[in-house]
A and B are shown apart, each in its own frame.
Chain A
Amino acid sequence: MRFQPTELTEGERALQREVREFLAAELPRGSYVPGLGMQAGRDRAFSRRLAERGWVGMALPRRYGGGDRTAVERFVVVEELLRWGAPVGHHWVADRQTGPVINRFGTETQKQRFLPPICRGELAFSIGMSEPNSGSDLASVQARATRTGGGWLLNGTKIWTSGAHVNDWFIVLCRTSDEADRHEGLSQLLVDLRSEGMQVNPIPFLDGTEHFNEVVLHDVFVPDDLVLGGVGMGWAQNTSELAHERGGPDRWLSTYVVVEQFLREHAGEPLGPRAEELLGEAVARWWGLRQLSLSVARQIDRGEAPSAESALVKEMGTRFEQDVLAAVQRLVDLEPSPDTESLFEGLLVRSVLTAPSFTIRGGTNEVLRSVAARGLDR
C-alpha cells in the first residue's frame, strides 16, 4: 500500500479560491441551512449554476460536455462544496460515479446521450445495487433480465435506493445469465426511473426524511442499447464503480458543519480547555485524512487503481465522522430537540439521527477492511 505525499499546485489553489468566492457570493452564510456532506439537499438550480462554472462532470471529456479536468481538481471543488454544506444532492451521484462509469464502459451512443446532460447538472441518478437479500454480498443479486425482442425484461426489487422518487435514471445490477462462477452472468442496465412497470415505494429514514426507497421492477423493458458496457461485464464494472465511491472528501466531511457551527456560535467567548483539546484533535485528524484522500486522487490521475487505499481511507474517515460527532455531543449540555430553531442544534439532531449510516453506505466498514487487508502485502 502506497500513499505518496502531494500538495496542491498553484493552479489548483487558484481553483480553490475561485470556488470559495463562488460559494461566498452564491450561498452566503445565513442564507441557507447547510447540508451534511453528500446528504445535502437537492437544488436543480444550484446544480445548474455549478455546471455553468464547469464544476459538474468536470473530470469527464470535453467532447461530452465535461471539463477534461483531473481527479485532484474535482477533489478541490468537492471538498469546498461539502464543507460549505452546499446543496449538492441533485447531481452528486451522477458526478461522482455514474458519469465516470458511463465514460469508462459505455458505448459511444450512451456517452453522447447521458454525459452532456450530466455535465449540465440536469440528469440525476440513483444507485441500483442493493436488494432485500443482497447487501454487502452483491454477487447474490436476484434482479434478473431476460431476453425479449430488441432488449431485456427486467424483474426484481432494489432497496435503499436514495432519491429514486425524484431522480431520472439508475444503473441496475442484475443477473442476465446463470454461470458456474456467480461473479459472471451479471450486467448493468441503464434504467429510466419513469419506465412502465416500475413502482417506487418510500421507506422512512431514521431521521424521518423520505429519500430512501424500495424500487420494484415488473417486466420493465430495457432496450439493448441501454446495457452498460458488455452483457456479462456487470461485476467488474460494478466493482470499478464502487471504487469511485470511496476515499473522497465525502467520506470524512459529513459532520464537519456541526463543528464549524459550534465554533461559530461560541465566537468571542473562551471555549474552555476541554473543547479546545477536542477541537485540536479533530483538526489534526481532518488535516491528516485530507492528505491521504488527496493522495488517492493523485494516484487516480496517474492512472493507478487505488482500490485498497480508497477502502482504507473511507473506513478511517467514516469512523472519524461519527467520533467527532460524539465528541461534540459530550461538550454541550443539551437535550437535542428536532423542533429546535437553533442552527447548531438542528445540525446536531440531523447528524445524530443519520450518523450510523456513514459506516454502512457505499460499502460497510467490515467489507472495506477486507478490501484494505488484501492490499496490505503490496
Chain B
Amino acid sequence: MTDALLVELADQVLGATCTHEAIQAAERDGWAPGVWARAAEAGLHRVALEEGGTLADALAVLRAAGRHAAPIPLAETGLLAGWLLAGAGLPVGDGPLTVVPGRPGDRLALSGDRLAGVAHRVPWARSAGRVVALVASDGGWLVAAAPAESISLERRVNLAGEPRDTVRFDGPVEVAAAAPGVDPEALRHRGALTRVVLMAGALERMSRMTVGYTSERVQFGRPVARFQAVQRHLVDGAQDAVLVGMAADAAVRAAEGGQARFEIAAAKLLANQAAFTATRAAHQAHGAMGMTREYPLHHLSRRLWAWRSEYGDEAFWSARLGAAVARAGADRLYPAIAGGSSVVDV
C-alpha cells in the first residue's frame, strides 16, 4: 500500500508549480528551478532513499509527476541515479542527479578514477549535480559519478522538449562496485518501470482532460461529448488509461516483491502502445484546439510519445516477452498470463 498522504502532497506541490506557463518556460529555458526547489523542499525527489520510504511510495509520487507533466528529473534523481549511488555506498546528496540510460553508441571506459567516453540521451545532464553511469570492469559492474567539471555536453531534447543531452566524459569520477544484481539489464528494467508509471499518470490526466474538454465544447447545439462518434474517442482514451494504470500498479507491486521482469516488460509494452492510441483519440477529440501550444494537451501527448521510446520501445519488449513465453512453452502460457514473473522470467 502506498502512502495516500504522500501522494496528496505530491499532487498539491506539483499541481501548484507545474502550471501551463511553468512547463512552457521549462521547455524554453531547459530547466525549471522553481518547480525543482518546491519538489525538493517537499522531499519528492528522494522518497525511496529516506528511511521508511518504499519503492511503491516513490513510484506513486512519480505517477503524480506524470499527471502534472512535471519538467524535473524526479525519476532520475531518486529512483535511478540515487538507487545506483546508494547501492554502491556512494553519497547521494540532495541536488538533482541524472543517469546514463545506456543507448547504442555509448562508449564509457574507466582508467583509474578517470572516466572517458560519450553517452547519449542523458536526461537533464545540463542541470544535474552529477551524472551517474554503470561502467564495465573486469571485476563486475561499477557505479561512476561524474561531477559537472568532468563532463562537457551537447544540449539535446526529446519530443516533449525535455533535456536529453549528449555527455562527453573526461575527468575524475567517484567509483564504487555496484550493488549485487545491479547491471545494465537491471537498470533497464527499473528505468522502464519509471517510464511506465510516468506514462500511467499522463494517460490518466489526458483522459480526464479530454472528457472535460468535450463536455464543455459545444457544437451543433450540444456538448460534443454527447456525440457517439466522440464518445468512442473518450472510451478509447479511458481504456488505455485504466489498462496502463492497472499494469503500472501490478508492475510496482511485483517490483516491491523483487521479481518483476515479466510485469515490467508487459506494462511498458502496453504503455508504449497506448502512447499511439490514446494520444490519437485525445487529439481527435480536441480538434484544432489540441494542436496548439496554448492548450495543455501537448504537455502530455508529447511526453507520451517521448517516453514510449525510452528504456525499450514496443518492438524491444514484445520480442523479449514473446521469446520468454515461447521458451516456456504452451503448457505454461496461461499460467504466465495469470502468474507473471512467478512463472516466467523475461
Contact = CB atoms under 8 A, between A and B. Distances in A.
Contact of B239 (A83, A281, A295, A312): A312
A165 to B, nearest CB: 33
A78 to B, nearest CB: 12
A280 B269 contact: yes
A79 interface: yes
Contacts of A284: 247, 265-267, 269-270, 317-318, 321
A263 B314 CA distance: 21
Interface of A is mostly: helix
Contacts of A236: none
Given A16-B338, A276-B322, A283-B336, A369 B242 contact: no
Contacts of B235: 312, 315, 369, 372-373, 376
A281 B242 contact: no
Interface string B222-253: 00010010011011001100111111011001
A205 B232 CA distance: 29
A216 interface: no
A267 B327 CA distance: 9
Interface in A257-287: 259-261, 263-264, 267, 271, 273, 275-281, 283-287
B339 to A, nearest CB: 9
B158 to A, nearest CB: 24
Contact of A264 (B231, B266, B269, B330): B330
A292 interface: yes
Contacts of A290: 337-338
Contacts of A264: 329-330
Interface in B322-346: 322-323, 325-326, 329-330, 333-334, 336-338, 340
A288 B246 CA distance: 7
A279 B326 contact: yes
For A271, A286, A291, the residue with the greatest tally of chain B CB atoms inside 10 Å of its CB is A291
Nearest to B239: A316
A280 B323 CA distance: 7
11 contacts: A3-B246, A5-B250, A264-B329, A287-B247, A287-B266, A288-B243, A312-B242, A315-B239, A370-B231, A372-B235, A373-B231
Given A276-B322, A372-B238, 14 more contacts: A16-B338, A260-B330, A261-B330, A280-B265, A280-B322, A284-B265, A284-B270, A284-B318, A287-B250, A288-B270, A291-B247, A312-B242, A369-B232, A372-B235
